[in-house]
Amino acid sequence: MDLTVNIKTQQDNSILGVISGEIDAHTAPKLREQLLAIDTKSTNKAVLDLAGVGYMDSTGIGVIVAFYKSVIADGGELTLIGLSPRLKRLFDITGLSGIIHVEEEA
C-alpha cells in the first residue's frame, strides 16, 4: 500500500503532518525525506497524525525516532495523535510513549 504525507504549518506556527498508508522498509525512506525537509528550528511544536496508518514496522519507528531527535534538538516537542490500538501497543512496548507524547485515536 502507498504512503501519503501531507505537511502543513498551522496558524499557531505549529506543524501538522498527516500520514496515511503503511510505514515499512519500502515507504520509510519517503517519509524520512519529507520529515527531514521540515524546518524544525522555526517551530516549537510538531504533531504527526497517524490515524491513517494501518501498519508500521521497526524501520517506521526509526524514522519517527530520528524526527523526534531533530525536533527536541531544536528545543521543540513532538506529539503523535490518532494511534490505532496496535500502534499504541508498539509505542508502549518500545518505551517510546514514555518520551514522545502519544494519543490514541478517539
Partner 1 sequence: MLLSQYLKYQTERNLYLGQNFSRHLVQKNITPEEVISIHKVALEEIQELGMTDTMIISLDFLTEFMIQYGLALREHKILVEQQESMNHEIELAAKVQNTMLRTKKPELDGVDIDFLSVPAGKMNGDYVYFQDDDSDFVGIGVADVVGKGIPAALCMSMVKNGLDTLGQASISPAYALDVLNRIVEKSVEDNMFISMFYGRYDNEESVFTYASAGHEPALYYCAREEKFYDLDESKGLLLGILPDVHYMESSIKLAKNDMIIIMTDGVTECRTENERFLSRQELIDMIYNVKDETPGDLAHSVFKALEKFQAFHQRDDFTLAVIKKVQ
**What stretch of H or E contains 81?**
strand 77-83
Is residue 39 helix, strand or coil? coil
Site size with partner 1, rule: CB under 8 A: 21
Q: Which of 10, 25, 33, 105 binds partner 1 (CB under 8 A)?
A: 25
Q: Which of 63, 71, 87, 102 binds partner 1 (CB under 8 A)?
A: 63
Burial class (CB in 10 A: 0-12, 13-18, 19+), 55: middle
Q: Is 75 a binder of partner 1 (CB under 8 A)?
A: no
- The CB-of-36 to partner 1 minimum distance in angstroms stands at 10
